[in-house]
Structure 1
Amino acid sequence: MRILNICAYTWAIGGPARIIYDHTTEVLKYGHQVDILSPMTPGEKSYPVPEGARLIECKRTPFLSKVYREFSLELYAYLKKNIHLYDVIQIHGIWHFGSLAPFLIDNHVPKVITIHGLLDRWAIRHSQWKKQLVTLLYQKNLLGKADLIQINNTDEEEDVIQYLGYRPRNMVIVPNGMKMADYTNLPPKGTFRSQFKVPADKKLLLFMGRLNIKKGLDLLLPAFAEYNRQHPDTILILAGPDDGYQDKTEAFIRENGMESYIRMVGMLTDKVKKAALADADLFALPSYSEGFSIAVLEAMTAGVPTLVSDRIGFGDYLRQYDSACITPLTVEGVTQGLQKTLQNSSYRAEIAEKAFNMVKENFDIQVVAKRLLDEYVKISKAK
C-alpha cells in the first residue's frame, strides 16, 4: 500500500508532525510505502523523516498563502500529476488548502481526514469569519465525501456531529499513539538544568507548546505569579515557538518582575526536549483546545506528573485513570492546581505512575498504528 500524508510537516506545527512520524515508523515495518506532502515557507525547519519514507516539500504561494492557509500551487501540481499513484491519502486537519486540493482533482483514491481537534468550540471561534466562509463554500461537503473521518475521542465525536448536524457513517475513533521506547532512556537528570542555569534547589515547572493563547498562557502566567508570591521555590520554563502570544508573555514577565522565575527558552527539539522532561517536576498545559495533545502524552510517557485542563483530547481517560491534576479554565483553578501538585511530592508521584500506565494500556503506537492500517484496508476494499 502506498500512503500519502498531507500536512505542514515542520517543527513549528508540533503535534501533527510528531503523529505522522511515529505512525510512519510503524507503517513502514509492515512493508508499506509512505510519502509526506508538505507546504513549506522558506526558512522553516522540516520535522525529521523516518528512514524509508519520503518528504516532498512544496513552496507556499506568496501572499495567497497568507489569505488562504498553506495555499500552494506546487502542492496542487504535484497532486494533479501523481495522485493516481497512491492507495490512500490521509489529510491532517481542515481549514487549509491541503485539505481541499485532493478533492479538486478527478480521482478515486480513498481519502482520510484526521480532524486534530479543529472542530472544537474554541477552535471554531478563532478566525470565525474565515471558517464560516470555508464552511459555506466546501468544508461540510468535503467531510461528507471523505471515505474516513478519523477522530481521537468522544469529545471530538460530539464536535463533528454538532458541526455537520448529523453523525457521518464514515467516522471512526482511533486515538493518536506514542512511541514509548523513545522515552525510556532520557538524558541524565540535571542536564537541562545545567544548560539553562536552573538551580538544583528550585522546582522546575515545564510548559511545552506553541506560545498561543489557546494553550492557556493567559491562565498559567498569572496563576504562577500568584503561586510564586507564597512559594518562590519554582521556576517556570516556557518552551515553544511564538504563535501570537510571545509579546504579551514578555510584557507580563517584565511588568510583574518575574524575570528570575519565568524563562523563555524557545522551541526545544530532540535531546534537549527530553532533557527538559527528565528534569521537570511538573508539566503544565491548561489548554482551551487540543485535538489530542502529544506534548502531554510525551510528558506522561517520560514519567512527568501533569497539570492540565480536560480539553487536551483525552479528558475521559484522565478521569478514568485519575492520572493528572485536572484544572478548571480559571486563574484561580490553575493556582490551586499548582499548590496541590508542587507542594505534594507524593501526589505528583502517584499521578505520574497512573499516567504512564494509562499511556501504556491505551496509546502504544504499535497498537494504534495497526488499528488505523486496518481502517485503510477497509476503505480500500470498499472502493
Structure 2
Amino acid sequence: MRLLHVISELDPKIGGTSQAVRTIIEGLSQLDVINEVVSLDDPNAPFLGDITFVIHATGPGKTPWKIAPKFIPWLAENLHTYDVVIVHGLWHYHTYAIYKVWSYLKVNKPALYLMPHGMLDPWFQRAAGRKLKAIRNWLFWKFTEQNIINRGDGLLFTCETEKIVSRESFSPYAPKAEKVVGLGVESPPNFAVRMEEEFRRKCNGLTGEFLLFLGRINIKKGVDLLIKAYLDLKTKGVQLPRLVIAGPGLDSPFGQSVLKLASIDKDIVFPGMLSGDAKWGAFYKCDAFILPSHQENFGIAVVEALACSKPVLISDQVNIWREINTEKAGIVENDTESGVNKMLKQWMNMSAEQKKQMGLNANTAFHTHFTISRASGKMINAISQAIPTSN
C-alpha cells in the first residue's frame, strides 16, 4: 500500500499532530506500508534533515491560513499515484487544496480519509477568548471543511470520546464512516541512572517525591487550576509532595501569570521543557503524572506516563479518560479547581499499596490500549476497506 499523509506543518516544535503523524508512520512502516508526507513546510527548514521518511515540503505556507502556491500543482501531478490519502488536522489551506484536487480526479482516485486530531472538539467553539476563532471556523466549515468531512471516505479518530464529541460542533455533519483507530506511543527506553541525574540537574538538584505536569504551559492545560488547588490544600495543612511543572510557554503572558501565582511556594518547580533523558527521568521518578486539561484529544504525555507504570491524575476532558477508568490506572475528575482539589486529596489518601497497584494498572492500560502495533493494525483495517479495486 502506498499512503500519502497530508499535513499543514510537520515541524516538531508544534508538537501534537506533528508527533502523532511521525508515530503513525513508524507503526505503519513495520507493516510494509510505503508512507510519504506532503506538507506546507519550508523546504529549507532545518528539521527536515532529521526525517527518515519521504517528505515533500511545498511551502512555506503564508498567511495564517498557510497558503502555499506550489501545493496544488504538486497534488495535481502526484495524487493519483497513491492508494490512500490521510489528511491530518483542519482549518488550514491543506484541507481545501487536497479536496479540490481529489474531487476532480476521474481515474486512479485514492481513498481519502481525514484524521481531525481533536480539532472538531466543541471546546474550541465554546471556550472564552476564542469567539473570533469560532466564527472563523464556522466560515471555514461552510465553504471548505464540510466538503472533505462529508464527501471523503470517512473520519479516523484516536479514541471513542473524540468520535462522540466531534458530532457536536458543526452541521451538516454526515461523514460516510467514523472509525476509531487509536494512536500508539513508542515504548519508553529502559530506566537508566543517567535519566534521573539529568532530570535532577534540570531541577537544580531537586530531591524527594514529586508530582509531574509535563506539557505546554497553556491555559487549555489547566495549569492555573493545578497551582491554585495545590496551594489551597497546603494552606489547609495537607502534606503534598513537590510539584514539577515542565514544559515550554513560560515566556508567554499566561506563563508569566503562572510563575507569579506559584512564586509564594518554593515547592513548585519550573524546569522548562524537558526532553531526552531528562524527560524520561521525570516520568520514571515521579509519584504520579497530572494533567487537569480543559481539552485534550489524546494526551501523548499521559500515555508515556502509563508506559512508565505511573498513575495518571487527569480531567474528564482528556479524551482517553474512559480507558484510564476502565483499567483503574488513575484518578479522573472534572476540569475545575474543586475537581483538581478532589483529585489531589484522593491521591494523598491512598495507601502505598494502592498507589503501587495503580502503577501496575497503568502499565497494563498502556499495553492493552496504546501500543504502536495495536494502533497500526486498527489503522490498516480501517483504511484498506476503501481502497479502490482498480488501484
TM-score, scaled relative to structure 1: 0.87
Change (3 A) 1:248 1:89: same
Deviation at 1:299, TM superposition (A): 0.9
Which amino acid in 1 is paired with 2:95? S
Match of 1:337 among 343, 352, 363: 343
| Residue aligned with 1:283, SS | strand
1:96 equivalent in structure 2? 92
Which amino acid in 1 is paired with 2:78? N
- C-alpha distance in 1, partners of 2:35/2:312? 34
Which amino acid in 2 is paired with 1:301? A
Match of 2:233 among 227, 231, 236: 227
- C-alpha distance in 1, partners of 2:370/2:13? 23
Deviation at 1:149, TM superposition (A): 0.7
2:244 equivalent in structure 1? 237
Change (3 A) 1:329 1:26: closer
1:314 equivalent in structure 2? 320
Deviation at 1:313, TM superposition (A): 1.7
2:259 equivalent in structure 1? 253
Deviations 1:154-210 (A, max 9, x none): 322223333345553322111111222xx1503326321133224223x22221222
- C-alpha distance in 2, partners of 1:156/1:112? 16
- C-alpha distance in 2, partners of 1:50/1:367? 24
Deviation at 1:116, TM superposition (A): 1.1
Deviations 1:283-338 (A, max 9, x none): 11111112211111111111122110122122221222222111211112212212
- Contact in 2 for aligned 1:49/1:55 (Cα 8 Å): no
- Contact in 2 for aligned 1:211/1:242 (Cα 8 Å): yes
- C-alpha distance in 1, partners of 2:181/2:228? 36
- C-alpha distance in 1, partners of 2:58/2:293? 31
Deviations 1:225-282 (A, max 9, x none): 2234435753332222329x83223223225524633333333333332222122222
| Residue aligned with 1:60, SS | coil
Unaligned runs of 5+ in 2: none
- C-alpha distance in 2, partners of 1:290/1:362? 17
In the TM superposition, what are the counterparts of 1:97-112 in structure 2 within 5 Å? 97-105=93-101, 106-107=104-105, 108-112=109-113
Residue 85 of structure 2 corresponds to residue 79 of structure 1 = no
Which amino acid in 2 is paired with 1:320? T
Residue 183 of structure 2 corresponds to residue 187 of structure 1 = no
2:11 equivalent in structure 1? 10
2:41 equivalent in structure 1? 40
Tell me the percent identity: 22
Deviation at 1:357, TM superposition (A): 0.7
Change (3 A) 1:346 1:100: farther
- C-alpha distance in 1, partners of 2:258/2:88? 34
| Residue aligned with 1:90, SS | strand
| Residue aligned with 1:379, SS | coil
- Contact in 2 for aligned 1:91/1:99 (Cα 8 Å): yes
Unaligned runs of 5+ in 1: none
1:295 equivalent in structure 2? 301
- C-alpha distance in 2, partners of 1:44/1:261? 39
- C-alpha distance in 2, partners of 1:235/1:116? 33
- C-alpha distance in 2, partners of 1:187/1:42? 37
Residue 201 of structure 2 corresponds to residue 200 of structure 1 = no
Deviation at 1:3, TM superposition (A): 1.4
Change (3 A) 1:208 1:252: closer
2:329 equivalent in structure 1? 323
In the TM superposition, what are the counterparts of 1:252-291 in structure 2 within 5 Å? 252-258=258-264, 260-291=266-297
| Residue aligned with 1:135, SS | helix
| Residue aligned with 2:98, SS | helix
Residue 364 of structure 2 corresponds to residue 363 of structure 1 = no
Change (3 A) 1:333 1:133: same
CA RMSD, Structure 1 to Structure 2 (Å): 2.7
TM-score, scaled relative to structure 2: 0.86
- C-alpha distance in 2, partners of 1:315/1:48? 37
- C-alpha distance in 2, partners of 1:278/1:48? 31
- C-alpha distance in 1, partners of 2:282/2:354? 21
- C-alpha distance in 2, partners of 1:363/1:247? 35
Which amino acid in 1 is paired with 2:98? P
- C-alpha distance in 2, partners of 1:264/1:58? 38
Which amino acid in 2 is paired with 1:128? A
Change (3 A) 1:214 1:319: same
Deviation at 1:342, TM superposition (A): 4.4
- C-alpha distance in 2, partners of 1:171/1:138? 19
- C-alpha distance in 2, partners of 1:137/1:204? 49
- C-alpha distance in 2, partners of 1:186/1:349? 18
Change (3 A) 1:176 1:213: same
Change (3 A) 1:47 1:227: farther
